[in-house]
Amino acid sequence: MQNFTAILNMKMALCILVVCAPRAALAEERGGGKWSVGAGMMMNSSPFAAEGTSVTPIPYVAYESEGLFLQGIEGGYHITASAEEKKAGFFLDVVGSGRFRAGETRQKFTVDVGLRAGMRSDFGVFDVTFLQDVTGTSNGQEVIGAYSYTFHDQRYKWIFTPRVGMSWMSRKMANYVWGVTQGQHNKMVVDNVENSDKPVLPIYEPGAAVMNYFAGATLVHRFDDHWSAFALSQVTRLDRKITDNPGIDKDYDLTLGMGVSYSF
């Protein structure tokens, strides 16, 4: 039987990646409130063989002020203008984010710290995020570039934000996130002896930097100034150096979700 806590942690991380990506849309969802709390369901199709598709309940907590912000397991400080402001201009944030490895059989929590810079205009939002592992686990880096554009009605009752981008991971980060070490493999063998439903993944390392491409969208419907519902999706096309792993049988990572939130 799968470990529920590990799955929940993974889905929380995915929720932060997808729900918080189009942050302008969620700012409208909160209707100016500093806090938002909510819950939803997330579905993830794991690229790792024998892990399949899982559906899991997830919590959601967010806070936004003039300087500080928190979105689940990501937080930070707005050095310049807030990314949620409607006016065009440059923004720069210090960010800290929790990271969970892909796949349900290799869960481990680490922390990344870095910077996010972006430009908002009438043509959408472009942002670049640099992250560095600060736990000493991988000592790797990731750079994420993304573009999003928000569509909405005049009253901001319906808000739709598609988003596309790419993620570059250094060799050390790629080996940590997508590789399987000898120690992990040995543990899987032992777990499989005790429970034959547990998958055993082969030893593998990408061995080089990787580039993944993603596309997704968030749809928000505001019922009033407090209650909102949201739906989200994201699909990530995995680098060939990742999918060469014989333990991976898909060339993509898919996440879908929906939920409700209350702002105050």
List the domain boundaries for the chain: 4-263
Residue for token pair 């009605």 = 153
Model confidence at 258, in pLDDT bands (50, 70, 90)? very high
- Residue 190 CA to residue 67 CA, distance in Å, equals 48
Amino acid, single-letter form, for residue 85: E
Contacts of 22 (CB under 8 A, 6+ apart): 125, 148, 150, 161, 163, 217, 218
Q: Is pLDDT above 90 for 71?
A: no
Residue 90, burial from CB neighbour count under 10 angstroms (0-12, 13-18, 19+): exposed
Give the rounded percent of residues in the chain with a pLDDT score beyond 70.
82
Q: Is pLDDT above 70 for 215?
A: yes
CB atoms under 10 Å from CB of 195, counted, come to: 8
Angle ∠(86,164,40) on CA atoms, nearest 5? 75
- Residue 185 CA to residue 200 CA, distance in Å, equals 7
Higher pLDDT, 22 or 226: 226
pLDDT for residue 85: 55
Architecture of domain 4-263: Beta Barrel (2.40)
- Cβ atoms of residues 76 and 111 within 8 Å: no
Go through 220-234 and write b for each residue having 16 or more CB atoms within 10 A of its CB, e for each that does not: bebeeeeebbbebbb
Residue 76 vs residues 27, 79, 144: alpha-carbon distances, Å: 15, 9, 17
Q: Is pLDDT above 60 for 173?
A: yes
Model's pTM, two decimal places? 0.83
Lowest-confidence segment of 48-52, 62-66, 77-81, 165-169 by average pLDDT = 48-52
pLDDT for residue 22: 41
Q: Is pLDDT above 60 for 241?
A: yes
Among the listed residues 233, 263, 237, 262, the one whose alpha carbon sits nearest the alpha carbon of residue 252: 237
Average pLDDT of the segment spanning 238-257: 92
Model confidence at 93, in pLDDT bands (50, 70, 90)? very high
Q: Is pLDDT above 90 for 239?
A: yes
